[in-house]
């Protein structure tokens, strides 16, 4: 408990003198199916299962833009891609954005901290310039995906990056707990952003490869041995989802089986670290006054439809875990309504009774979480343009409800699922594995028309010119139309030139 005089700005709209703390935990490439209580993947997450017992856990949470940088920008700003500027990996989100998690809680008098992977500061993601940290004061950034020997940048320790020989999630959790000890009784907003279960490289990955990519040892899915041992079944023989395309046991071609121990092992290891964080809050007496979020930037296909990683509109790629806990305040429940990554920011502001900027696109779900009257959104949206700058444009736009997903796609590698006109509908309840694409004259024409109109209206409202510039366009643009140009207009051109030079040397 703190006296209001210590941090008068922390008084919220209701005049409360104690603000709830925020612990925002995210992982990279963690699909929603890979949480134990969901009953889908054969994965062990006892700590998240326990967290869900004191939380609202959303079954239908969707990444807005299922690739790293873009969806991190969506989560932290509460804005759609078109409005936050991060349209591909390595394109910076506007560091001055007025709608930004760290900045808004700092302005409200919170101690703000960020531990782990960032990836929204463009090509030079190591954030040496404090004005580019979106309001986070304590800065402990992990760089790239060397999960067993992480590279870190922490200006209070060194002005240069340094590496630490330890499993990243474990080290970062220790760092986060040290930070929590340092804030004392002041309200905090801390993001802990784990880089696994995303693929990685460096020490510990020597015998790994990323299925679906050209055979190259030294990069792939991995976790400390004790966690991988939990998942040594012959997954090539026992497909974990019916929509996986079996490709045999050859490690050079197998879509997923050789990735399972590393992927699920990393998940179980992070689950243990989430447990440590929650336990610290419990022991320090802060659990009842801390809102805990667990989510991910996007999912992982893991062999479904013959695909790995993300970037596509299928359930495994866009579906993310979303657990929001506030012990004693939020009644535990499983929620089936749709929710997007951009809704987290306004929801946290709503729970803390802080003002939500007018420019925020997301919806405040706080009333739903607190059992108050709430007009539940019926639709969630997702999009994709590029993976990284300079990569092929594979754009699509999608609208989700609890019942259906309707997708429009331009040029993309999964086009076999689509009608020649570039659309597809899936019945999410009857066909959860999306093995039966629906096009016209299959009894769903009214639904197709209705969802097309909803998606079109959404794109028009945003000023997204997808329908005219990307859908059915032989020459795709080098970048999508944005309402908010990023603050370094030359940054991306410079990157493209450097990439071109590198490619020419190969
Ligand atoms: Ca990612």
Terminal-residue alpha carbon distance, the chain? 61
Query: Is 4's pLDDT higher than 50?
Result: no
> What's the rounded mean pLDDT across residues 35-64?
97
Please report the pLDDT score of residue 476 as a whole number: 80
| Mean pLDDT of the region 48-70 | 97
pLDDT digits (tens, 9 = 90+) for 360-384: 999 999 999 999 999 999 999 999 9
Q: What is the mean pLDDT of residues 291-314?
A: 94
69 Cα–ligand 1 center, Å = 7
What pLDDT band is residue 391 in, cutting at 50, 70 and 90?
confident
Going from the Cα of 29 to the center of ligand 1, the distance in angstroms, rounded, reads 5
Task: Give the distance (Å) from ligand 1 centre to CA of residue 371.
Answer: 32
pLDDT at 11: 46
**Residue range 441-457: mean pLDDT, rounded:** 98
Q: How far apart are CA 57 and CA 288, in angstroms?
A: 18
What is the pLDDT, as a whole number, of residue 254? 65
**Ligand 1 geometric centre to CA of 443 (Å):** 37
How many whole angstroms separate alpha carbon 172 and alpha carbon 169?
5
More confident position, 144 or 484: 144
Q: What is the pLDDT at residue 316?
A: 97
Give residue-wise pLDDT tens across range 139-180. Answer: 999 998 999 999 999 999 999 999 999 999 999 999 999 999
Q: If you measure from the C-alpha of residue 284 to the centroid of ligand 1, how many angstroms do you get, rounded to a whole number?
A: 32
Distance 192 CA to ligand 1 centre (A): 14
Kindly report the average pLDDT of the chain as a whole number. 90
Structure tokens at 492: 């991306």
Is the pLDDT at 19 greater than 80, yes or no? yes
Using the mean position of ligand 1's atoms as its centre, give its distance from the Cα of residue 298 in Å: 6
Task: Report the C-alpha gap between 178 and 280 in whole angstroms.
Answer: 10
Q: Find, among 22, 30, 12, the residue nearest to 135 by Cα.
A: 22
- 29 vs 498 pLDDT, higher one: 29
* Structure token pair of residue 180: 């929590």
pLDDT bracket for residue 250 (50, 70, 90): low
Asked if residues 430 and 442 have their Cβ atoms less than 8 Å apart, the reply is no
Give me ligand 1 centre to Cα 449, in Å.
33
pLDDT digits (tens, 9 = 90+) for 73-116: 999 999 999 999 899 998 889 888 999 999 999 999 999 999 99
How confident is the model at residue 3, as a pLDDT?
A: 33
CA of 471 to the centre of ligand 1 (A): 25
Q: What is the pLDDT of residue 493?
A: 61
Report the SS3 class of residue 146.
Answer: coil
Q: Residue 99: CB partners within 8 Å, gap ≥ 6?
A: 77, 78, 79, 345, 357, 359, 360
Q: With cut-offs at 50, 70 and 90, classify the pLDDT of residue 415.
A: low
Give yes or no for a contact between 65 and 325, defined as CB atoms under 8 angstroms apart.
Answer: no
Give me the DSSP letters along 195-251.
Answer: EEES-EESTT-TT---TTS---TTEE----HHHHGGG-S-TTTS-SSTTB----S-T
pLDDT of residue 477: 80
Distances (CA, A) of 43 to 261, 266, 469: 10, 10, 42
Task: Determine the pLDDT at residue 35.
Answer: 98
Summarised one tens digit per residue, pLDDT across range 319-336 is 999 999 999 999 999 999
Q: Is the overall model pTM greater than 0.85, yes or no?
A: yes
Token pair of 344 as six digits: 């987290």
Which string of DSSP letters, residue by residue, matches 396-440?
A: EEEEE-SSEEEEEESS-TTGGGS-TTSEEEEETTT-TT--S-B-T
SS3 110: coil
Q: Kindly tell me if the per-residue pLDDT of 42 is higher than 70.
A: yes
Residue with token string 């969707």: 62
Q: How far is the CA of 66 from the centre of ligand 1 (A)?
A: 8
**Which domains does the chain carry?**
17-365 (3.40.720.10), 380-505 (3.30.1120.10)
- Around ion ligand 1, which residues have CB less than 5 A away? 28, 68, 297
Closest by Cα among 441, 444, 413, 415 to 428: 444
Helices (H), ranges, 311-463: 315-318, 344-351, 366-369, 445-462
Measured in angstroms, how far is the CA atom of residue 72 from the centroid of ligand 1? 8
Which residue would you say has higher pLDDT here, 151 or 6?
A: 151
* 495 CA distance to ligand 1 middle (Å): 20
**Which pLDDT does position 257 carry in this prediction?**
82
Asked, as a colleague might, if the bond just before 340 is cis with ω within 30 of 0, I would say no
Residue of 273, 285, 289, 375 whose CA lies nearest to 330:
289
Cβ-contact 452, 423 below 8 angstroms: yes
Q: Residue 301 Cα, ligand 1 centroid: separation in angstroms?
A: 13
More reliable by pLDDT, 496 or 276? 276
Distance 370 CA to ligand 1 centre (A): 30
Helices (H), 58-167: 68-77, 81-84, 101-107
Please give the distance, rounded to the nearest whole angstrom, from the Cα atom of residue 68 to the centre of ligand 1: 3
pLDDT for res 116: 98
Chain segment 193-249, per-residue pLDDT in tens:
999 999 999 999 999 988 877 777 899 999 999 999 999 988 877 889 999 876 666
- Asked whether 46 and 379 are in contact (CB, 8 A), the reply is no
Q: Separation of 138 CA from ligand 1 center, angstroms? A: 22
Q: In angstroms, what is the span from residue 453 Cα to ligand 1's centroid?
A: 31
Q: In which band, very low, low, confident or very high, does the pLDDT at 287 lie, cut at 50, 70 and 90? A: very high
pLDDT of the residue at 1: 32
| Ligand 1 center from residue 348 Cα (angstroms) | 22
CA–centroid distance, 475 to ligand 1, in Å, is: 27
Altogether, the residues listed in the chain come to a count of 506
Gap from CA of 389 to ligand 1 centroid (Å): 15
Closest CA to 465 of 474, 452, 456: 456
Cα of 120 to ligand 1 centre, how many Å?
11
Q: What is the dihedral of CA 26, 31, 35, 37, to 10 degrees?
A: 120
Q: Which two tokens stand for residue 395?
A: 């754009």
- pLDDT band at residue 394, thresholds of 50, 70 and 90? confident
* C-alpha 267 to ligand 1 mean position (Å): 14
Q: How far is the CA of 213 from the centre of ligand 1 (A)?
A: 17
291: three-class secondary structure by DSSP = strand
């Amino acid at each position: 408990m703190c006296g209001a005089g210590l941090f008068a700005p922390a008084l919220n709209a209701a005049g409360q003198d104690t603000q709830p703390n925020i612990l925002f935990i995210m992982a990279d490439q963690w699909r929603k199916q890979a949480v134990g209580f969901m009953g889908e993947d054969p994965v062990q997450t006892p700590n998240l299962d326990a967290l869900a017992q004191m939380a609202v856990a959303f079954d239908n949470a969707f990444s807005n833009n299922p690739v790293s940088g873009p969806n991190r920008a969506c989560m932290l700003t509460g804005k759609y891609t078109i409005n936050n500027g991060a349209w591909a990996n390595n394109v910076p989100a506007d560091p001055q954005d007025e709608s930004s998690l760290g900045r808004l809680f700092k302005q409200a008098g919170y101690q703000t901290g960020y531990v782990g992977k960032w990836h929204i500061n463009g090509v030079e993601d190591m954030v040496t310039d404090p004005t580019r940290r979106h309001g986070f004061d304590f800065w402990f950034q992990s760089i790239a995906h060397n999960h067993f020997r992480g590279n870190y940048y922490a200006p209070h320790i060194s002005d240069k990056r340094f590496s630490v020989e330890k499993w990243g999630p474990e080290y970062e959790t220790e760092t986060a707990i040290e930070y929590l000890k340092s804030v004392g009784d002041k309200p905090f907003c801390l993001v802990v952003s784990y880089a696994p279960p995303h693929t990685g490289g460096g020490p510990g990955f020597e015998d790994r490869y990323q299925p679906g990519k050209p055979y190259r040892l030294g990069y792939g899915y991995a976790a400390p041995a004790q966690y991988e041992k939990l998942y040594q079944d012959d997954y090539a023989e026992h497909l974990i989802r019916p929509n996986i395309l079996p490709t045999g046991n050859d490690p050079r071609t197998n879509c997923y089986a050789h990735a399972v121990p590393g992927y699920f092992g990393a998940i179980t290891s992070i689950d243990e670290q989430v447990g440590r964080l929650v336990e610290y809050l419990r022991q320090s007496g802060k659990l009842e006054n801390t809102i805990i979020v667990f989510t991910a930037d996007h999912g992982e296909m893991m062999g479904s439809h013959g695909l790995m990683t993300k970037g596509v509109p299928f359930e495994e790629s866009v579906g993310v875990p979303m657990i929001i806990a506030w012990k004693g305040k939020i009644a535990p429940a499983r929620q089936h309504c749709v929710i997007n990554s951009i809704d987290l920011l306004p929801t946290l502001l709503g729970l803390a009774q802080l003002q939500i900027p007018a420019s925020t696109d997301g919806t405040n779900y706080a009333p739903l979480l607190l059992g108050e009257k709430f007009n539940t959104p019926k639709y969630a949206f997702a999009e994709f343009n590029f993976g990284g700058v300079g990569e092929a444009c594979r754009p699509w736009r999608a609208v989700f409800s609890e019942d259906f997903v309707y997708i429009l796609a331009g040029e993309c590698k999964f086009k076999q699922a689509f009608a020649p006109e570039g659309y597809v509908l899936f019945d999410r309840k009857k066909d959860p594995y999306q093995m039966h694409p629906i096009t016209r004259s299959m009894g769903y024409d009214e639904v197709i028309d209705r969802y097309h109109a909803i998606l079109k209206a959404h794109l028009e409202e945003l000023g997204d010119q997808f329908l005219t510039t990307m859908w059915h366009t032989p020459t795709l643009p080098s970048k999508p139309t944005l309402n908010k140009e990023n603050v370094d207009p030359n940054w991306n051109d410079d990157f493209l030139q450097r990439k071109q030079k590198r490619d020419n040397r190969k």
